[in-house]
Chains A and B, each alone.
Chain A
Amino acid sequence: IMCASAKYNTRGPALIPRMKTKHRIYYITLFSIVLLGLIATGMFQFWPHSIESSSDWTVEKRSVHDVPVVKLPADSPIPERGDLSCRMHTCFDVYRCGFNPKNKIKVYIYSLKKYVDEYGTLVSNTISREYNELLTAISDSEFYTDDVNRACLFVPSIDVLNQNALRIKETAQALAQLARWDRGTNHLLFNMLPGGPPDYNTALDVPRDRALLAGGGFSTWTYRQGYDVSIPVYSPLSGEVDLPERGPGPRRYFILSSQMALHPEYRLELEALQAENGESVLILDKCTNLSEGVPAVRKRCYKNQVFDYPQVLQESTFCVVLRGARLGQAVLSDVLQAGCVPVIIADSYILPFSEVLDWKRASVVIPEEKMPEMYSILQSIPQRQIEEMQRQARWFWEAYFRSMKAIALATLQIINDRIYPYAAISYEEWNDPPAVKWSSVSNPLFLPLIPPQSQGFTAVVLTYDRVESLFRVITEVSKVPSLSKLLVVWNNQNKSPPEDSLWPKIRVPLKVVRTAENKLSNRFFPYDEIETEAVLAIDDDIIMLTSDELQFGYEVWREFPDRLVGYPGRLHLWDHEMNKWKYESEWTNEVSMVLTGAAFYHKYFNYLYTYKMPGDIKNWVDAHMNCEDIAMNFLVANVTGKSVIKVTPRKKFKCPECTAIDGLSLDQTHMVERSECINKFASVFGTMPLKVVEHRADPVLYKDDFPEKLKSFPNIGSL
Chain B
Amino acid sequence: MQTRKKYIFLTFLASWLLLFFFGGDQLRRFAFFSGRKAEARRSWPRWTDQSLLKSFADPEELQRDGDPSLLSPRERRAAWLSAYRSSRCRMETCFDFSRCERHGFKVFTYPQERGQPVSETYGKILSSIERSRYHTLNPEEACLFILSIDTLDRDHLSGQYVRDVDEKIRGFPLWNGGRNHLIFNLYSGTWPSYSGELGFDIGHAILAKASFDTESFRPGFDISIPLFSKEHPQRGGDRGWLSQDSVPPKKKYLLVFKGKRYLTGIGSGTRNALHHIHNGHDIISLTTCKHGKDWEKHKDTRCDKDNVDYERFDYQELLHNSTFCIVPRGRRLGSFRFLEALQAACIPVLLSDGWELPFAEAIDWGRAAVVGSERLLLQIPSAVRCIRPERVLAFQQQTQFLWDAYFSSVDKIVHTTLEIIKDRLSPHRSRSRFLWNTLPGGLLVLPDFSTHLGDFPFYYLQHGYSPSKKFTAFIRAVSQAGSLSQPILRLIQAVSGSQYCAQIVVLWSCEKPPPPSGKWPQSAVPLSIIQGRGKLSDRFFPFEAIQTDAVLSLDEDTSLSTSEVDFAFLVWRSFPERIVGFPTQSHFWDAEQGRWGYTSKWTNELSIVLTAAAFYHRYYHSLFTEYLPAALRELVDGLAACEDILMNVLVAAVTKLPPVKVTQRKQHKEGVAQQAECRDGAAGTPPAGQRSPSAPRPAEGKGSAGSRSLSQRQDCLDQLADWFGYMPLVSSQLRLDPVLFKDQVSVLRKKYPGLEK
Among B92, B386, B439, B454: residue with most chain A CB under 10 A: B386
When the two chains form the complex, which single residue of A40, A436, A696 contacts B20, counting CB atoms closer than 8 Å? A40
For A422, list chain B residues within 8 Å (CB). Answer: 370, 383-384, 386-387
For A235, list chain B residues within 8 Å (CB). Answer: 62
User: Are the CB atoms of B77 and A696 closer together than 8 Å?
Assistant: no
User: Are the CB atoms of B73 and A266 closer together than 8 Å?
Assistant: yes
Q: Is B234 an interface residue (CB 8 A)?
A: no
User: Are the CB atoms of B738 and A697 closer together than 8 Å?
Assistant: no
Interface contacts beyond A44-B24, A129-B55, A138-B44: sample of 5 additional A-B pairs, CB < 8 Å, sorted by A:
A5-B388, A44-B28, A198-B67, A421-B372, A695-B739
For A221, list chain B residues within 8 Å (CB). Answer: 84, 88, 90
Interface size on B, residues (CB 8 A): 145
User: Are the CB atoms of B737 and A695 closer together than 8 Å?
Assistant: yes
User: Are the CB atoms of B56 and A451 closer together than 8 Å?
Assistant: no
For B433, list chain A residues within 8 Å (CB). Answer: 358, 360, 427
Q: Is B166 an interface residue (CB 8 A)?
A: no
Closest 8 CB pairs of A and B: A439-B464, A261-B66, A3-B386, A139-B44, A89-B353, A324-B65, A128-B56, A385-B452
User: Are the CB atoms of A533 and B64 closer together than 8 Å?
Assistant: no
For A99, list chain B residues within 8 Å (CB). Answer: 376, 379, 382-383
Q: Is A95 an interface residue (CB 8 A)?
A: yes
For A681, list chain B residues within 8 Å (CB). Answer: none
For A649, list chain B residues within 8 Å (CB). Answer: 741-743
User: Are the CB atoms of A696 and B66 closer together than 8 Å?
Assistant: no
For A174, list chain B residues within 8 Å (CB). Answer: none
User: Are the CB atoms of B386 and A128 closer together than 8 Å?
Assistant: no
Q: Which of A363-371, A481-489, A655-663 contacts B (4 or more CB under 8 A)?
A: A363-371
Q: Mark A1-21, 1 if CB is under 8 A from B, else 0.
A: 101111011000000000000
Q: Is A170 an interface residue (CB 8 A)?
A: no
CB contacts under 8 Å to A, within B17-38, are: 17, 20-21, 24, 28, 32, 36-37
User: Are the CB atoms of B385 and A589 closer together than 8 Å?
Assistant: no
User: Are the CB atoms of A6 and B389 closer together than 8 Å?
Assistant: yes
User: Are the CB atoms of B40 and A57 closer together than 8 Å?
Assistant: yes
Q: Is A693 an interface residue (CB 8 A)?
A: yes
When the two chains form the complex, which single residue of B245, B367, B430, B738 contacts A426, counting CB atoms closer than 8 Å? B367
For B243, list chain A residues within 8 Å (CB). Answer: 449, 451-452
Shortest CB-to-CB span from B90 to chain A, Å, is: 6
Q: Is A479 an interface residue (CB 8 A)?
A: no
Can you show 25 pairs from A to B with CB atoms below 8 A apart?
A: A5-B389, A58-B43, A62-B48, A89-B374, A128-B54, A140-B43, A161-B56, A161-B57, A220-B220, A233-B62, A235-B62, A326-B65, A367-B427, A380-B428, A384-B452, A422-B370, A446-B401, A552-B733, A588-B740, A589-B738, A649-B743, A650-B743, A695-B737, A700-B584, A700-B735
User: Are the CB atoms of B655 and A699 closer together than 8 Å?
Assistant: no
Q: Is B451 an interface residue (CB 8 A)?
A: yes
CB contacts under 8 Å to A, within B421-464, are: 427-434, 437, 439, 450-452, 454-455, 461-464
Q: Which of B296-304, B598-606, B718-726 contacts A (4 or more CB under 8 A)?
A: B598-606
Shortest CB-to-CB span from B733 to chain A, Å, is: 5
- Contact of A436 with B464 at beta-carbon distance under 8 Å, contacts A36-B17, A700-B661 already known: yes
CB contacts under 8 Å to B, within A121-138, are: 125, 127-132, 135-136, 138
When the two chains form the complex, which single residue of B88, B658, B741 contacts A559, counting CB atoms closer than 8 Å? B658
A-B contact count (CB 8 A): 418
For A696, list chain B residues within 8 Å (CB). Answer: 736-739, 741
For B430, list chain A residues within 8 Å (CB). Answer: 360
Q: Is A573 an interface residue (CB 8 A)?
A: no
When the two chains form the complex, which single residue of B2, B43, B77, B742 contacts A146, counting CB atoms closer than 8 Å? B43
CB closest chain-A residue, reference B400? A447
User: Are the CB atoms of A589 and B371 closer together than 8 Å?
Assistant: no
Q: Is B530 an interface residue (CB 8 A)?
A: no
Shortest CB-to-CB span from B163 to chain A, Å, is: 31
- Contact of A702 with B45 at beta-carbon distance under 8 Å, contacts A89-B373, A649-B743 already known: no
- Contact of A695 with B45 at beta-carbon distance under 8 Å, contacts A384-B452, A448-B655 already known: no
Q: Is A683 an interface residue (CB 8 A)?
A: no
Q: Is B523 an interface residue (CB 8 A)?
A: no
CB closest chain-A residue, reference B42? A146
CB closest chain-A residue, reference B732? A559
Shortest CB-to-CB span from A426 to chain B, Å, is: 7
For B112, list chain A residues within 8 Å (CB). Answer: none
Q: How far apart are the CA atoms of A347 and B92 in the complex, in Å? A: 8
Q: Is A524 an interface residue (CB 8 A)?
A: no
For B215, list chain A residues within 8 Å (CB). Answer: 85, 87
When the two chains form the complex, which single residue of A369, A604, A701, A717 contacts B97, counting CB atoms closer than 8 Å? A369
Q: How far apart are the CA atoms of A650 and B744 in the complex, in Å? A: 8
Q: How far apart are the CA atoms of A447 and B167 in the complex, in Å? A: 50
Q: Which of B133-141, B145-153, B566-574, B612-620 contacts A (4 or more CB under 8 A)?
A: B566-574
User: Are the CB atoms of B10 and A382 closer together than 8 Å?
Assistant: no
CB closest chain-A residue, reference B16? A37
Q: How far apart are the CA atoms of A688 and B659 in the complex, in Å? A: 29
CB contacts under 8 Å to B, within A92-114, are: 94-95, 99, 101, 109, 112
For B431, list chain A residues within 8 Å (CB). Answer: 360
Q: Is B172 an interface residue (CB 8 A)?
A: no
User: Are the CB atoms of A588 and B56 closer together than 8 Å?
Assistant: no
Q: How far apart are the CA atoms of A85 and B397 in the complex, in Å? A: 35
- Contact of A364 with B428 at beta-carbon distance under 8 Å, contacts A45-B32, A439-B464 already known: yes
User: Are the CB atoms of B604 and A693 closer together than 8 Å?
Assistant: no
Q: Which of A242-250, A514-522, A638-646, A669-677 contacts B (4 or more CB under 8 A)?
A: A638-646
CB closest chain-A residue, reference B376? A94
Q: How far apart are the CA atoms of A591 and B454 in the complex, in Å? A: 26
For A139, list chain B residues within 8 Å (CB). Answer: 43-44
Q: Which of A26-34, A462-470, A576-584, A619-627 contacts B (4 or more CB under 8 A)?
A: A26-34
User: Are the CB atoms of B70 and A427 closer together than 8 Å?
Assistant: no
Q: Is A295 an interface residue (CB 8 A)?
A: yes
Q: Is A603 an interface residue (CB 8 A)?
A: yes
Q: How far apart are the CA atoms of A446 and B574 in the complex, in Å? A: 16
User: Are the CB atoms of A448 and B46 closer together than 8 Å?
Assistant: no
User: Are the CB atoms of A699 and B390 closer together than 8 Å?
Assistant: no
When the two chains form the complex, which single residue of B384, B461, B733, B739 contacts A443, counting CB atoms closer than 8 Å? B461
User: Are the CB atoms of A330 and B733 closer together than 8 Å?
Assistant: no
CB contacts under 8 Å to A, within B394-419, are: 394, 397, 400-401
Q: Mark B172-192, 1 if CB is under 8 A from A, else 0.
A: 000000000000000000000
User: Are the CB atoms of A591 and B739 closer together than 8 Å?
Assistant: yes
- Contact of A128 with B44 at beta-carbon distance under 8 Å, contacts A559-B732, A603-B247 already known: no
For A168, list chain B residues within 8 Å (CB). Answer: none
CB closest chain-B residue, reference A227? B214
Q: How far apart are the CA atoms of A59 and B379 in the complex, in Å? A: 38
Q: Is A703 an interface residue (CB 8 A)?
A: yes
- Contact of A265 with B28 at beta-carbon distance under 8 Å, contacts A440-B463, A455-B244, A694-B738 already known: no
Shortest CB-to-CB span from B725 to chain A, Å, is: 19
Q: Is A262 an interface residue (CB 8 A)?
A: yes
Q: Which of A74-82, A501-509, A704-712 contacts B (4 or more CB under 8 A)?
A: A704-712
User: Are the CB atoms of B90 and A94 closer together than 8 Å?
Assistant: no
CB contacts under 8 Å to B, within A510-565, are: 526, 531, 533, 552, 555-556, 559, 561
Q: Is B170 an interface residue (CB 8 A)?
A: no
Q: How far apart are the CA atoms of A237 and B60 in the complex, in Å? A: 11
CB closest chain-B residue, reference A602? B245
Q: Mark A352-368, 1 if CB is under 8 A from B, else 0.
A: 00000010110011111
User: Are the CB atoms of A40 and B17 closer together than 8 Å?
Assistant: yes
User: Are the CB atoms of A694 and B66 closer together than 8 Å?
Assistant: no
User: Are the CB atoms of A129 and B20 closer together than 8 Å?
Assistant: no
Q: Is A331 an interface residue (CB 8 A)?
A: yes
For A569, list chain B residues within 8 Å (CB). Answer: 739
Q: How far apart are the CA atoms of A208 and B73 in the complex, in Å? A: 30
- Contact of A33 with B246 at beta-carbon distance under 8 Å, contacts A64-B50, A140-B43, A587-B740 already known: no
Q: Is B49 an interface residue (CB 8 A)?
A: yes
- Contact of A260 with B64 at beta-carbon distance under 8 Å, contacts A9-B248, A37-B16, A603-B246 already known: yes
Shortest CB-to-CB span from B304 to chain A, Å, is: 33
